[in-house]
Amino acid sequence: MGRRQERTGRRRPPLPVRDGLNPSRVRLPESGPWSTTLEFLMARFHVDRVRLIEKIAGREVVDEDGVPVDGAMPFRANSFVYLYRDPAPEPRVPFEIDVLFRDEHLLVADKPHFLSSLPNGSYIVESAVVRLRRQFDLPDLSPMHRLDRITAGVLLFSLQPAERGAYQTMFARREVRKSYLAVAGFRPDLELPLTVRSRIVKDRGTPTAYETEGEANSETRIELVQTRGDRALYRLDPTTGKTHQLRVHLNSLGIPILNDPFYPRLLDIPHDDYAKPLQLLASSISFTDPVTGAARRFESKRRLESWPPSL
């Protein structure tokens, strides 16, 4: 059966995570010609009827209360059923995740470029969360934030469902300090450090974000670290976390991040072209742990290939 996108912010599904993947949730419509739930599902998944029948026979399709769907279950408008979908084959992203830290509360990963944080679009199995769930047999592992697929660096995961809310609140209150490194063009006329504040909007269905008039909803402090000819290494400290914020802010200053396929122009680059990684790294994250009270700081061990330690 087809792909699924993992969703968050819901009550715990009645089926557990299996092989690193959450079950899919399917909503029954408000009305229809079906007298049973099975009739609806057979129509909904008519292309995969054989697999659907196999899953029902294996008691792998259940309602919201975990009751297996059978031929007698009546159609209930606006109710939900849960089932496992079969992910389509995916080419492996040829880069590995490193683990910086792990205890009973947290796992901190050092994500490579080109690996999605979450299942999304063309990448389901080839995502950081699914890889780590499978590698360490951690079905409850859940990311506390995300990095763009083409951004590398520190990514934080919660291991205990009961503690997840405390960590999510920490992020919502902006109590987490994140720092990034980026390679971009050098503008000698640009006075740094500076703080960029603007209103960033991303329209549904469009890949890029843009700045517009209105109250600022994004803020980034930009500091010059080092220069080499017409390029420079910058430290970026965002206060907010809007989509593509760092990439949009540097582009607005006339110094787009090196190898950015979205800004200033949207480029048609195949997903399996790994030749030019975006030169943006989530270099560190620090916070006071809301569960243990410990001061936490984690730093990426990765380096931006366009800025080697020595020339």
Residue 83 belongs to a domain with what CATH number?
A: 3.10.290
The domain of 271 spans 98-299
Given a contact cutoff of 8 angstroms between Cβ atoms, the answer to whether 292 and 188 are in contact is no
C-alpha to C-alpha distance for 171 and 169, rounded to whole angstroms:
5
**274, exposed or middle or buried, with CB in 10 Å at 0-12, 13-18, 19+?**
middle
172 and 62 assigned to the same domain: no
112 and 181 assigned to the same domain: yes
C-alpha to C-alpha distance for 74 and 141, rounded to whole angstroms:
35
Please report whether residue 287 resides in a domain.
yes
Number of domains comprising the chain: 2
Looking at 64, 88, 112, the residue that finishes a domain is 88
pLDDT by residue for the chain (311 residues), tens only, comes to 544 444 444 567 899 999 898 898 999 999 999 999 999 999 999 888 999 999 999 999 999 999 999 999 999 999 999 999 888 888 999 999 999 999 999 999 999 999 999 988 778 899 999 999 999 999 999 999 999 999 999 999 999 999 999 999 999 999 999 999 999 999 999 999 999 999 999 998 899 999 999 999 999 999 999 999 999 999 999 999 999 999 999 999 999 999 999 999 999 999 889 999 999 999 999 999 999 999 999 999 999 999 998 75
Q: What does the pLDDT look like over 64-117, one tens digit per residue?
A: 999 999 999 999 999 999 999 888 888 999 999 999 999 999 999 999 999 999
61 and 118 assigned to the same domain: no
Phi-psi region of 78 (alpha: psi -120 to 50; beta: other; left: phi over 0): left
- The answer for residues whose C-beta is within 8 angstroms of residue 188's C-beta and 6 or more apart is none
Q: Which structure tokens are listed for 101?
A: 């830290």
Q: Which structure tokens are listed for 10?
A: 């819901």
Given a contact cutoff of 8 angstroms between Cβ atoms, the answer to whether 287 and 170 are in contact is yes
83 and 111 assigned to the same domain: no
144 and 223 assigned to the same domain: yes
The mean of the pLDDT values for the chain is 93
C-alpha to C-alpha distance for 166 and 101, rounded to whole angstroms:
19
Classify 48 as helix, strand or coil. helix
C-alpha to C-alpha distance for 95 and 273, rounded to whole angstroms:
13
Looking at 21, 56, 88, the residue that finishes a domain is 88
Please report whether residue 185 resides in a domain.
yes
71 and 120 assigned to the same domain: no
Q: Alpha carbon of 9 to those of 83, 162, 165, 188, 278: distances in Å?
A: 18, 14, 10, 46, 30
